């Protein structure tokens, strides 16, 4: 899809897809588990249906997306899938794990080398990516 919408070259799209598959290999969902239900998924974007079907087949706790139109929350909730935006999800993780999230954000910032980032720099970037409530929580500690 990112290639079709000219957001990436075919080579770059393949590289991104390969990296995702390699990094999340243990979480891959066998298409045979959900292929039969793709056509029954709600939402206007047929490209999104495969993601909903896979999440339901895997009994995911949530499908995390900014795309509320493509993933209608009430209809998917009726199928056992909660749809939540990234900011809300990360606030929930923070509420559950608190200091562990702060430590992780600090470690992530320290690991950044191109360019180097402080924790505040990283939080500014996350805030700019609409993770506003999450970054406020982390800053407050």
Task: Report the share of the chain in percent with pLDDT over 70.
Answer: 95
Q: CB within 8 A of 64, min separation 6: which ones?
A: 84, 85, 86, 89
Query: Does 4 have pLDDT greater than 70?
Result: no
Q: Is the peptide bond before 136 cis (omega within 30 degrees of 0)?
A: no
Residues 53 and 96 in one domain: no
pLDDT at 13: 79
CB atoms within 10 A of CB 16: 14
Query: What are the two backbone dihedrals, phi and then psi, of residue 71, each rounded to the nearest 5 degrees?
Result: -130, 80
What range defines the domain where residue 100 resides? 87-140
pLDDT digits (tens, 9 = 90+) for 107-126: 999 999 999 999 999 999 99
Question: What is the percent of the chain with per-residue pLDDT over 90, rounded to a whole number?
Answer: 82
Instruction: Write out pLDDT tens, residues 46-82.
Output: 999 999 999 999 999 999 999 999 999 999 999 999 9
Indicate if the pLDDT at residue 134 is higher than 80: yes
Averaged pLDDT for residues 18-42: 94
Q: Is 105 in the same domain as 79? A: no
Domain match, 98 and 33 both: no
Across the range 25-35, mean pLDDT stands at: 94
Please indicate, yes or no, whether residues 66 and 97 belong to a single structural domain of this protein: no
83 neighbors 73 (Cβ within 8 angstroms):
yes
Is residue 5 a part of any domain in this protein?
no
Quick one: pLDDT at residue 17?
85
Residue 105 lies in a domain: yes
Q: In the prediction, which pLDDT does 48 show?
A: 95
The answer to whether the pTM exceeds 0.75 is yes
Residues in contact with 109: Cβ distance below 8 Å, sequence separation at least 6, in sequence order? 117, 118, 119, 121, 122
């Amino acid at each position: 899809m990112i290639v079709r919408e000219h957001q990436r070259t075919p080579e770059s799209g393949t590289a991104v897809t390969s990296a995702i598959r390699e990094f999340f290999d243990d979480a891959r969902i066998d298409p045979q588990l959900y292929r039969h239900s793709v056509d029954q998924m709600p939402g206007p974007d047929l490209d999104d249906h495969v993601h909903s079907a896979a999440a339901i087949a895997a009994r995911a706790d949530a499908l995390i997306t900014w795309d509320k139109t493509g993933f209608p929350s009430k209809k998917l909730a009726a199928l056992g899938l909660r749809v939540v935006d990234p900011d809300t999800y990360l606030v929930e993780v923070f509420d559950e794990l608190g200091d562990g999230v702060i430590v992780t954000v600090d470690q992530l910032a320290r690991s950044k080398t191109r360019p180097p980032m402080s924790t505040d720099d990283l939080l500014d970037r996350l805030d700019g990516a609409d993770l506003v409530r999450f970054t406020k929580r982390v800053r407050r500690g």
